[in-house]
Amino acid sequence: MDVVEALEAQRGTTCVVGAGGKKTTMATLAAALERTVVTATVRIPIFDDWVDRVVVTENPVAAVEAAADWPLGVVPEREREDRYLGYDRETVAELSDLDVPVLVKADGARMRRFKAPNEREPQLPESASTIVSIASAHVVGQPLTEDRVHRVQRVAALTGLDPGDEIRPADVATVLASDQGGCKDVPDDATVIPLINMVDDEELEETGRRVAAEIHERADVPRVVLAEMRAERPLVAVV
């Protein structure tokens, strides 16, 4: 099994949410797939350097149908120098009618490594087949503070932690497994696959396995994936 198979990204619409490497995960999957579409339902940093081409268009279906080179990025507008806007969920859902895998950034995290969604997140299209919910292994053992965590108060509300408390494996698992966290607003036919990213040594692998065990106690997910998405071989383990 490789990382594409582990995350079930070889077909359908894969939505990436959470914090701790969404962009790197999407780039890694896009590079591994023979062809794929990269898009977003929220703002997305400029990603021209890891796709063959970005098409700014109000008609992404037509752009994909005309594509000859892959991976292809489609976005509705460049909001400013460093980011694009995303499409509404209905427009992204229309891409599911095409015979090509779709990768979707479906929430934001402001470069943090752990998060819980607000009331407007995630922005998941009904066509979503897989939800990859990410957290970084590096947050375990760190304090619950804004420099590491996006929306500290929401994480605190889900876990019972106070701001500044040490984040434990069970806390990461609680957020990823929660229907107000990593499993929020998941379409009925979609599969959630938690991803513990930044597992870059043996100690962090053990941490990731502890998080995975806690997730399996809390949620019915087919597997938890441990990975280092910056590595040449990103898949570390499937738990």
The domains located in the chain, with CATH, are 3-37+99-238 (3.40.50)
pLDDT in tens, 4-53: 999 999 999 999 999 999 999 999 999 999 999 999 999 999 999 999 99
State the residue for tokens 């970005």.
54
Question: Which tokens in the block code for residue 33?
Answer: 């797939």
Alpha-carbon torsion, ordered 89, 52, 50, 63, to 10 deg? -10
pLDDT in tens, 197-206: 999 999 999 9
As a whole number of angstroms, the distance between CA 237 and CA 239 comes to: 6
Low pLDDT (below 50) residues in the chain: none
Q: Coil, helix or strand for 83?
A: strand
Bridge partners of 2? none
What pTM was computed for the model?
0.96
Q: Is the dihedral of CA 204, 148, 111, 13 positive or negative?
A: positive
Q: Coil, helix or strand for 91?
A: helix
The pLDDT assigned to 160 comes to 98
Residue among 17, 51, 236 nearest 131 (CA): 17
State the residue for tokens 């934001």.
108
Question: Which tokens in the block code for residue 39?
Answer: 């898009």
Instruction: Determine phi and psi for 117, rounding to 5 degrees.
Output: -75, 155
83-84 vs 44-45, strand pairing mode: antiparallel
